[in-house]
Amino acid sequence: MEILNEIRFSMPSLSQNESAARAAVSSFIVQADPTVEELSDIRTAVSEAVTNAIVHGYRGTCGRIDLVVRLLPEREIYIRVKDCGCGIADIKKAMEPLFTTAPEEERSGLGFSVMESFMDKISVRSDVGRGTTVTMRKKLSVHGC
């Protein structure tokens, strides 16, 4: 995979860091000149992925969340969100709309559905007891004057 530019950063799984992740990703990808809608879509997908890691991956404990954002050829954005939390036993079930591991917190269970609706491609890898990696891609439109 040819990488035109990349950032990597880690943060503790604190809820207040969700907005910092969203802002950092936005600030980085703005160099690719996304539309306002594309930028909003990516920000929302990142927010959902990071929130999932905080709420479901670490379940009230504190751990590390690693993010990688890459600008690829042909205006493609690559984002990877990784935690070392509890992992997902049944990825297929977890990706079903309205499924949540935290119903007592009144979670909607739409995180993966939101990510899928705003990104072109999403993949989830997980090992119980070792964590989850969510990889998302979005190809930006070509717009001109």
Whether residue 43 lies in the annotated active site = no
Residue 113 CB partners (closer than 8 Å, separation 6+): 95, 97
> Cα separation of 68 and 25, whole Å?
9
Calculate mean pLDDT across residues 88-107. 68
Residue 29 has pLDDT above 70, yes or no: yes
* Helix 36-52, helix 111-118: angle, nearest 10: 150
Spot the catalytic one: 22, 43, 48, 70: 48
Encode burial over 57-96: b for 16+ CB neighbours within 10 A, e otherwise.
bbeeeebebbbbbbbbeebbbbbbbbbbbbbbeeeeebbe
Domain ranges of the chain: 5-139
pTM value is 0.89
Secondary structure (H, E, C), 53-96? HHHHHCCCCCCEEEEEEEEEHHHEEEEEEEECCCCCCCHHHHCC
Domain at 5-139, CATH from 3.30.565.10, 2.60.40.10, 3.30.300.30, 3.40.50.150 = 3.30.565.10
Whether residue 107 lies in the annotated active site = yes
- What pLDDT is recorded for position 104? 58
Mean pLDDT over all residues of the chain? 89
Spot the catalytic one: 22, 38, 52, 70: 52
Scanning the structure block, which residue is given the tokens 């050829």? 73
- What pLDDT is recorded for position 3? 97
Specify whether the CB–CB gap between 65 and 17 falls below 8 A.
yes
- What pLDDT is recorded for position 110? 57
Residue pLDDT, tens place only, 60-83: 899 999 999 999 999 999 999 999
Whether residue 48 lies in the annotated active site = yes
- What pLDDT is recorded for position 108? 53
Which amino acid is located at 96 in the chain? E
